[in-house]
Amino acid sequence: MSPLNQKISSIEWGEFKLNELFDIERGTRFIKSKRKSGKIPLVTAGEQNQGVAEFIAYDDELKIYENHLTIDMFCNCFYRNYKFLCDDNILVLLPKIDIGNKSLLFMTSVINKDKAKFGYEKQYRQKSFAEHKIKLPITASGEIDFEFMESFVAELEAERVAELEAYLAAASLKDYKLTADELSALSKFENYNWGEFRIGDLFEMKNTFSFNKEKLTDGNEYDYVTRTSNNQGILQSTGFVNARNLNEAGIWSLGLLQMDFFYRQRQWYAGQFVRKIIPKIKLTQNSILFFTTLLNSQKNILLSVLVRDVDKTFKNLKIKLPVTANDEIDFEFMNNFIKAIKKLVIKDVVLYTDNKIKATKSIVSSNQ
């Protein structure tokens, strides 16, 4: 058992009603036609993107919140340490007492453990808030142990950031300086030589042998992929079921509900309405990322046709690819471009981990 797990398993817990700790306000109904594009997050119900539906401009009809918890109609709870607006599906929790940021994060996790009590059958309402009880760490005198929560979350954050830094170093992702070839690929991208290719000449679409999740076995060697987009279509992991239904690694899955393409790093089983996309050309890891973006750019077209026509439509679609002077696919350019994008993305992560570790070392050492 890790030190943090030992620490939390040894703590005493007490039960508290949410309305003892917070007042609530409901967000404002604000119709879509009145919204104007801006910089303030608008929070609605849902887990995706923590419920942020869009960014809009401030309007006098709306109230701006900051540093509060929100709970939506399905008991999705998030701590928001930024200014935000919210619609009337959202309950904003206003602390009655002084609660630190890390304690609010701790409470978010505790509240989200209760999501199973709610859902489409029993949506979370103001009455739910009045009755909702959560368990929190307590001191010897029975008071809420805010010091423990602040310390625990700080140590957990430091531990995770340290793991991220170790991963970046092991994966050689700490270097974010662009080479001359990578800079060239970025600068020439829009005006590069592009050729048009028929998808059916590059990829093959095949049916999968599907089964329902009741046939899954214990283990986590394989992914069970469904037609949805959550978690890249992976509903859960499974052990070996049978050889006939097993799909190979190194190809894409396509869920016929949202028409999202996901590259499969390992062997997988499929639920209903899932296709597999098999490349006819040899691909590198970076070109796989490039083609994943291109395949997903066809999503709207595939959504516009009947499911029975997806296979035929897919193979006749045209995509544009960078080409050499001989009109061959320019995999070298593709590779340099993706490497440049990776470095631009990872730069902020590397700088974040460096700064975060410096800021949390003192917390870790003091608690040790």
Residues 28 and 90 in one domain: yes
Which of 91, 124, 111, 154 minimizes the C-alpha distance to 16? Answer: 111
Its domain, for residue 361, covers 159-174+335-367
In the 8-state DSSP scheme, what is residue 358?
H
Task: Encode pLDDT of 127-169 as tens digits.
Answer: 899 999 999 999 999 999 999 999 999 888 888 888 888 887 8
Of residues 184 and 30, the one with the higher pLDDT is: 184
E-state strands within the chain: 12-17, 22-26, 37-43, 52-56, 65-71, 77-86, 91-95, 133-138, 194-198, 203-207, 222-225, 234-238, 251-255, 260-264, 268-270, 274-279, 318-322
- Number of compact structural domains in the chain: 3
Residues 240 and 114 occupy one common structural domain: no
Per residue in 213-233, pLDDT tens? 999 999 999 999 999 888 999
* Residue 349, pLDDT score: 81
**pLDDT value for 365:** 52
Query: Which residue type occupies 216?
Result: L
Beta-carbon contacts of 282 under 8 Å, excluding residues fewer than 6 positions away, are: none
The answer to whether residue 368 scores a pLDDT higher than 50 is no
Q: What is the pLDDT of residue 45?
A: 87
Question: Same structural domain for residues 321 and 349?
Answer: no
Mean pLDDT of the region 300-310: 96
Question: Is this prediction's pTM over 0.95?
Answer: no
Express each pLDDT in 268-287 by its tens digit: 999 999 999 999 999 999 99
286 and 346 together in one domain:
no
pLDDT of residue 256: 95
**Number of other CB atoms surrounding residue 257 within 10 Å:** 15
- The span from the CA of 49 to the CA of 72, in Å, is 13
- CATH number, residue 71: 3.90.220.20
**pLDDT tens-digit map of 68-106:** 999 998 889 999 999 999 999 899 999 999 999 999 999
